[in-house]
Amino acid sequence: MVGNRRRILILAAVLLLSGCGSASEAAAVPSFSPTPSATPVPEPKVIDDMDAEALPEAYLEAMEHGGMIETITYSAENYVADDGSTLSKEAEVYLPAGYGESSDTYPAVILMHGWQGNDSTIFTAEDGAVVNVLDHMIAEGVIPACIVVTPTFDTRNKSASWEKSETELEPFASETRNDLLPYLLENYRISEDRQDHYFGGFSMGGVTVWYEFLENLDLFHGFLAISGDCWKTKTDGAETDYAETAGLLEQAVRDQGFDSDDFLIVAESGSEDYFLTPMEEQIKEMRKTGMFTEENLFWRLQQGAQHSYDALGCYLYNGLPILFGTSDQKR
């Protein structure tokens, strides 16, 4: 019942907005901000971690000499249909300032959009706020210069129905391993060291983060799950047994040959986000396993934030420094 209500709220929020048909319009569509009367605000539960720090307002301003965005097209197997067919997939790539004049290798962050988005959504939503935030964070040494990639889980490179999108989340982990990451390593100066690879996402993109953790822990050291819980046991989180989910995640670490000191996870949500309760419940159960501790699993709550891309800059400002090891925040 909880999962169905959450799904209805997301559907209602998007349907109230116009112009979600084209790729150019999709970036402005998925704000996911329900009306207060339609959404009961969950009462935040206490988890012994910090509230998110406020994003400096100056970080939303465009920099004169910031990074640049490229669009790439790569071939990928259709893991959703699982019929051996090949897809032409798209992604956008943020290259930090100075990339063209440098011969250095860079860490890489893959960020996945939410439902009704596409590969361009994260970099174009809220007037390009994420690009501005990345530029400022890098320029001020909050995080190292890095390459940020925004692919899409959708097989058609455009927004799809809720039902179709649900089927595309888990198979994308195979595309990451076999198609996307190999393309990026071949065509960009990205470090081949797993310690320099990170995967994050928002909403349905946050759900994909957990699938990457379950299947591709040998490819990524850090994970940033924003307003999206693990749907492996129950699609859309409906009647999820969070203890079972936590046990599944713990076993996945062991099955992939790793231990508690081999990864970092930052989970974030907003105090007025309808994904708050499932995320908190999952994090609390994960902390009970012994595998996930305050040393490798961090929780950040953004006060006042709804399920919207306008909160994404603040989530990145808090989450990425923890993953990169440049944060001075207390655990």
- Answer for the pair 293, 262: CB distance below 8 angstroms, yes or no: no
Outline where 140-259 has alpha helix (H). Answer: 162-168, 172-175, 181-187, 204-215, 242-255
Q: How much is the pLDDT for 13?
A: 42
Q: Which fold has domain 2-324?
A: Rossmann fold (3.40.50)
Q: How much is the pLDDT for 329?
A: 54
Q: How much is the pLDDT for 44?
A: 38
Residues of the chain with pLDDT under 50: 1-6, 8-48, 330-331
Q: How much is the pLDDT for 51?
A: 86
The candidate with the shortest Cα–Cα distance to 231, out of 253, 251, 213, is: 213
d(CA 276, CA 103): 42
Cα atoms in the Cβ-side hemisphere of radius 13 Å centred on 169 = 29
- Answer for the pair 298, 256: CB distance below 8 angstroms, yes or no: no
pTM (2 d.p.): 0.86
Measured CA distances, 131 to 57, 101, 327 (Å): 14, 20, 20
3-state secondary structure of 300: strand
d(CA 115, CA 255): 30
Q: How much is the pLDDT for 235?
A: 58
Q: How much is the pLDDT for 241?
A: 87
Q: How much is the pLDDT for 189?
A: 98
- Answer for the pair 250, 230: CB distance below 8 angstroms, yes or no: no
Q: What are phi and psi of 56, to 5 degrees?
A: -55, 130
Could you tell me how far CA 204 lies from the centroid of its own chain?
A: 8
- Answer for the pair 62, 128: CB distance below 8 angstroms, yes or no: yes
